[in-house]
Structure 1
Amino acid sequence: AAKEIKNLIQTSGSQVGAGVQLVGKTGEALRIIAGQVAEIDELVANIAASAQEQSLGLAQINGAINQMDQATQQNAAMVEESTAATQSVAHEAEALAEATSQFRLSGAVSNISAARRPGLRRAS
């Protein structure tokens, strides 16, 4: 019985030694994993900082595009106003040309007429 107990103790001692080695390997693996987790954490923090910078850049681009859109809309409105004013002037010029086409003036009469109109000078 003592011999069996001695064998069991030796076997247990060997198994405990193997267990200690496995625990040591497990501890080393956990240290490696912890180091890799720290590296991943740093990378994620860098990605988050880059994403924040990109977000700010996109916000600035969006603001510039909004300003360009407003300027484009203002330019379009001014073009419409200019077109309307040009058409109005063209119609008024046609009406003036039609109104003045009814008058027939000879050289002498036109000089007298021109002298009577305020702000106009006689032709020489």
Structure 2
Amino acid sequence: FAVVASEVRSLAQRSAEAAKEIKQLITSSVEQVESGSTLVGNTGETIGQVVEQVRRVTELVGQITTSSSEQNLGIGQINTTIGMLDQATQQNAALVEETAAAADSLKHQADRLAEAMSLFRQHGRFAHA
């Protein structure tokens, strides 16, 4: 009976130690799971922030694309306007040349008219004398 009692005590002691080890393992596992959960939560937050930054970058790229298109349109309009100004300048230059030629022609006609008047006056004086 003493041998059996000793064996039972020894078995009870080993069971108690095993229970302590199991409790420590469970506590360690719970801590590791909690740590893992925290890491997963942090990772989720980080991924959320990355997704938000990607959305912002995509929005900025869209704005840049829109601005570039607007600038291209504006440059096209400026080029069209410059072409129209060039054409108007050339037309004005041609009109200035035509006006100068007409003024020169009028000057020659005025000179001839003055000569004719001079002759008319000279002949008119002789006729009255």
**TM-score if structure 1 supplies the norm length?**
0.69
Q: What is the deviation of 1:5?
A: 8.1
Number of residue-to-residue matches in the alignment: 105
Higher relative contact order (CA 8 A, sep 6+): 1
- Offset at 1:90? 0.8
CA distance in 1, matches of 2:55, 2:123: 102
Aligned residue identity for 2:64: V
Residue 37 of structure 1 corresponds to which residue in structure 2? 57
Partner in structure 2 of residue 111 of structure 1: none
CA distance in 2 between counterparts of 1:50 and 1:84 reads 51
Identity of aligned pairs, percent? Answer: 10
Distance in structure 2 (CA, Å) of the matches to 1:95 and 1:5: 132
Q: Paired residue for 1:84? A: 104
* Aligned ranges 1:51-70 → 2 under 5 Å: 51-70=71-90
Deviation at 1:94, TM superposition (A): 0.5
SS of residue paired to 1:103: helix
Shift of 1:68: 0.7
Q: Which runs of 5+ in 2 are unaligned?
A: 1-20
CA distance in 2, matches of 1:11, 1:35: 36
1:46 aligns with 2:81: no
Aligned residue type for 1:93: L
Higher alpha-carbon Rg: 2
Instruction: Flag structure 1 segments of 5+ consecutive residues without an equivalent.
Output: 107-124
Within the alignment, does 1:16 sit opposite 2:55 as a pair? no
1:75 paired to 2:95: yes
CA-based RMSD of the aligned residues comes to 2.4
